Amino acid sequence: MKPLPFAPAVCLPVLLFLSAPVFAQDAPDAPAAQDAPERRVIPPLTLEERIVDLIEAIQDEAPETYRRMAELPREEALARVMRALDSGAIPASEAAKGKSATVVQGIDVKPLPALELTGKKFLYLRLDGVTAGTAPEAVKALDGRGGNADASGVIFDLRNAFYGDYSAVEPLAESARKLKCPVMALVSGKTAGVGELLAAVLRRDCGAVLIGTETAGSVFPAKRIYVNGVAWFVPDPPAQYSGISPYALKPDLEKSSEARLDYDQLKESPDKLDGDPVLRLAADLLTMKAAVRPVEPSPAQ
């Protein structure tokens, strides 16, 4: 194991965080009386030792997270570790029972067919979950639109995409990369996990404009790591997404609104978007982009 580049560094926020009762629960009991039989008392771990143990566990069990940490200045790395572990720590006995407030309960998400909006100018994809059941429908729609240079744009509605399968992200991203038109992604505080990662990939690889409000901030799956009788939930980013931040996504255009058109209503009236300000803004922006799209020069005669 290579030397830890920042293990010795201890800053005040770390000291305060690690002073929480959860870290003290395994301390040995004091002797009951002076005349009690002599017994060996194992000193509790120092704060520095606890930090080192935690970082070593991350190095062994979440190497991509450790690699990111090692590239940072040591004080910033420690601060980021603590922010990344904001999901909290629970006693190992409770973790074994599966108790964790950070685990989102899965729900069944039905695939919603793509819609053509505003005179069939825009392709609209609503993904309330990025799953093996919903992704193929979206991929099919994207592949049908991918080679159409006249398309005005594609809108991904990820405002309620908090559940899914991380393996479904790449097929969707691959189809989106083939698009020859602008891409919009609608996001909110409910955009989390797989949906949050998809939004980040669309922004990075397709130049997607994110519209809405800041996302939940739980981009990557969490891996359970046991250290000194405590279970931590550590973000464990897949290697292919090494350039994507694990923190909340800030929209390019902030538009706060609880109003959101029902899918069936939108299906019946695909040209009436005024009941959904965020979707309306995305459609207007695509309309403007289409209006100023450069025209390819004609071949020389």
* Amino acid at site 144: G
| Confidence at residue 105, expressed as pLDDT on a 0 to 100 scale | 43
Same domain, yes or no, for 60 and 149? no
Domain membership flag for residue 179: yes
Determine phi and psi for 117, rounding to 5 degrees. Answer: -105, 160
Among 71-80, 157-166, 200-209, 282-291, where is mean pLDDT lowest? 71-80
What is the C-alpha to C-alpha distance for residues 138 and 148, in angstroms, rounded to an integer?
Answer: 16
Go through 251-269 and write b for each residue having 16 or more CB atoms within 10 A of its CB, e for each that does not: beeebeeeebbeeeebeee
Residue 156 or residue 151, greater confidence: 156
Cα angle 72, 46, 85; round to 5: 45
Same domain? For 81 and 184 the reply is no
pLDDT band at 43 (very low <50, low <70, confident <90, very high): low
Stretch 171-194: mean pLDDT: 92
The domain tally of the chain equals 2
Q: Please indicate, yes or no, whether residues 264 and 180 belong to a single structural domain of this protein.
A: yes
pLDDT, position 197: 93
* HSE-CB for 256 with a 13 A CA cutoff: 3
What pLDDT, on a 0 to 100 scale, did the predictor assign at position 87?
Answer: 43
What pLDDT shows up at residue 13? 31
More confident residue, 52 or 301: 52
Residue pair 128/109 in contact (Cβ under 8 Å)? The answer is yes
Q: What is the pLDDT of residue 107?
A: 55
Distances (CA, A) of 219 to 50, 117, 154, 183: 27, 29, 23, 20
**Residues 58 and 204 placed together within one structural domain of the fold:** no
Asked if the model's pLDDT at residue 275 lies above 60, the reply is yes
SS3 track for 114-153 = CEEECCCCEEEEECCCECCCCHHHHHHHHHHHHCCCCCCE
Q: Is the pLDDT of residue 156 over 90?
A: yes
Helix axes 47-61, 63-70, angle to 10 degrees: 120
pLDDT band at 31 (very low <50, low <70, confident <90, very high): very low
pTM over 0.85: no
129 and 68 share one domain: no
**Amino acid at position 107, single letter:** I
The CATH number given to whatever domain includes residue 143 is 3.90.226.10
pLDDT-derived band at 68 (thresholds 50, 70, 90) equals confident
In whole numbers, what is the pLDDT of the chain averaged over residues?
A: 74
Q: Looking at the domain assignment, is residue 244 inside a domain?
A: no
Q: Is residue 108 part of a domain?
A: no
147, amino acid identity: G
Please check whether residue 263 lies inside any domain of the structure.
yes
Is residue 173 situated within a structural domain? yes
Q: What range does the domain containing 56 cover? A: 1-32+44-87+221-239
Residue range 19-44: mean pLDDT, rounded = 44
**Which pLDDT belongs to residue 71?**
80
Question: Residue 150 has what pLDDT?
Answer: 53
Handedness of CA 261, 190, 210, 193 (dihedral sign): negative
Q: Which of 19-23, 45-49, 107-111 has the lowest mean pLDDT?
A: 19-23
Same domain, yes or no: 181 and 75? no
pLDDT at 93 over 60: no
* Nearest residue to 191 (alpha-carbon basis) of 266, 262, 128: 128
190 and 148 fall within a common domain: yes
- What is the per-residue pLDDT for 28? 38
Distance, in Å, from the CA atom of 277 to the CA atom of 288, rounded to the nearest integer, reads 16
